[in-house]
Structure 1
């Protein structure tokens, strides 16, 4: 694990004053953006520029709710980020972060979709960076925003793409989805054509889920689909703490496939990719970006390509940079 630069660590320290959400429950991407930029070799000046561009929209972390004696009491309550963070810092100081992760990640993975996958992603980045305080902040965020889709775990002998197509037909003509990504996902999961339906492939591995997410996003530039790609990368980083990897993977799959159901059908073609870039050029461009989703998508695509060697990862990164 490569250590973070001094600039990145200093900016992460400054970012601690901000809460995990802003606006209408939108995710604070600042810590994830800083870590991804650092991993891509961004110079100090570019990281500071990204900090300023992203920090101006954030709001300060709450600090006036009482202390936490058991984080489970705050699952899904949507508040007390400050108290929960102090709780996890105390647990990590007493038992070690590794023990805390092994206890809490399996408990939280049924809520992998929480805050449009951002709780998962923020924790994965923190672990990869070796930043204990940031990991505790991410755990606090996941607890407060926890929500599960509560779908059946019945299996069916169908490929992921076939299941997705069947579910899409089942929700055709639905009432309009509303709200932010996680709201729309919950509405889709509660649809009669999805709830109570077998949607778990009888054989499933992470490559299948990642390939499904990649294929959907490669075919169509869409904000929701982007998050399924970055979620698969984050999930891979959290697997050592998942407890029962196959069980955890099924939570990821249901969240990814439900996310695709919220993307309205359209005849619009996907935007064309930029002129050909290799990964060195792509990462150099991404390291100068300030848009959090551009930065994170390029970093996740690069990391996933190292595992799967699929040229579509470079294509989606180049396309995002060209937009």
Structure 2
């Protein structure tokens, strides 16, 4: 991993807030993907491109607001889900990480934040997942630790639960469970408006419960892998419904999958349950009712080793969602050998404007 380039990017991006282009109160903004995209570039061997990519990305962002009042063990619950306190949360986690190993902070705060998994359209969770991968890969200096804290802060400030969440209690594997998620009749408005309709959606609780419950902690990683696989493959024929939002049906559970080994086994099943409900919610809110015909779908790159080809194409494209989804799709391909995973990556490249 290109630690120097990634640390430099983190330091530049940490002056900026986790969202931009929101309303006058800072709500309903777009997520700052800079740190996550930079981590993908570094891990995929494109560290020399990080600086130029950040140069082009920074102008769209807004500065992190000033902290207002400290968050403490006595008042943190009142600040949870308060987007106006994001800078207070950043300061809080900087203090936490200055005195304890980051792994301990993760284990303490993961179960506290997990109920609010939809925070920032799941970007709080995803940003933490990318930071964990960077730290595990050797970027453990101040910038890497600070990025981990920024991710936790964003998750805490934008904490939002899935309406009517249910734990898996059925018999369906992830591909069939995703296929059984009912779609909202009214798929209009912002994500907060769409998710607000789920509680009244017929079949919504049953669809969540239909996923097979893990037999025990050892069963959770495999279920998460199959959820990531299924969501990635569904994107190929359904990603056109919302090329950006539907990415997170795969990237959110992938973030949990990569964080899982650092968590106590008793947190594994609750983590699966939370991210499954989040992925299902996004499917319900954004996935089109009908898939595209197979004849209209792109094919995977050809060749003995198509992975470098699709990664290069995604990197050349430069869109943050394209790079992040391609990163996940490549992992699915390497795990399953299914070329449709790479075709899904090609599809987001075709769907997303530069």
**What range describes the TM-score normalised by the shorter chain of this pair?**
0.7 to 0.9
The aligned counterpart of 1:209 is: 227
Aligned to 1:53: 56
| Match of residue 133 from structure 1 | 146
What is aligned with 2:332?
Answer: 304
Q: Which deviates more, 107-116 or 83-92?
A: 107-116
1:279 equivalenced with 2:284 (yes/no): no
Deviation at 1:154, TM superposition (A): 6.2
Between the aligned partners of 2:41 and 2:208, the Cα distance in structure 1 is 40
Q: Judging changes above 3 Å, is the alpha-carbon distance between structure 1 residues 47 and 207 closer, same or farther for their aligned structure 2 residues?
A: closer
Q: What's the TM-score once normalised by structure 2's chain length? A: 0.81
- Where does the alignment leave 5 or more consecutive residues of structure 2 unmatched? 23-28, 136-143, 215-222
Work out which of the residue numbers 11, 14, 21 in structure 2 matches 1:13: 11
Write the distance in 2 (CA, Å) between the matches of 1:42 and 1:60.
Answer: 27
1:127 CA displacement: 1.2
Q: Within 2, Cα distance between the matches of 1:198 and 1:9?
A: 39
Q: Which residue of 2 aligns with 1:32?
A: 36
Query: Relative to structure 2, which stretch is displaced further, 139-148 or 281-290?
Result: 281-290
Conserved 8 A contact 2:233-2:341: no
CA deviation string 1:285-318 (max 9, x = no partner): 3333321111111112223333444322222223
In structure 1, distance between residues paired with 2:263 and 2:187: 31
TM-fit CA distance, 1:219:
2.1
- Distance in 2, matches of 1:203 and 1:267, equals 28
Q: Distance in 2 between matches of 1:77 and 1:248?
A: 23
Query: CA 1:301 to 1:282, structure 2 compared with 1: closer, same or farther past 3 Å?
Result: same
Distance 1:201 1:49 in 2: 43
- Asked if 1:96 corresponds to 2:72, the answer is no
RMSD: 2.4
Structure 2 distance, partners of 1:129, 1:154, is 31
Higher relative contact order (CA 8 A, sep 6+): 1
Contact 1:158 1:201 in 2 (8 A): yes
Whole-angstrom distance in 2 between the partners of 1:157 and 1:294: 33
- Alignment correspondent of 2:190: 180
Written as runs of structure 1 = structure 2, the 5 A alignment for 1:96-135 is 96-130=101-135, 131-135=144-148
The alpha-carbon deviation at position 281 of structure 1 amounts to 1.8
Q: What TM-score comes out, normalization by structure 1 length?
A: 0.88
Q: CA deviation at 1:82?
A: 1.5
SS in 2 for 1:201: coil
Partner of 1:155: 169
Aligned length, in residue pairs: 316
Which whole-Å deviations, capped at 9, do the CAs of 1:174-226 have from their partners, x for residues lacking one? 3x233333542342244243247662423342133123212321222242321
Of residues 247, 265, 273, the one that matches 2:289 is: 265
For 1:321 and 1:199, the matched residues in 2 are separated by: 34
Q: Which range moved further: 157-166 or 251-260? A: 157-166
| Structure 1 position 258, deviation (Å) | 1.9
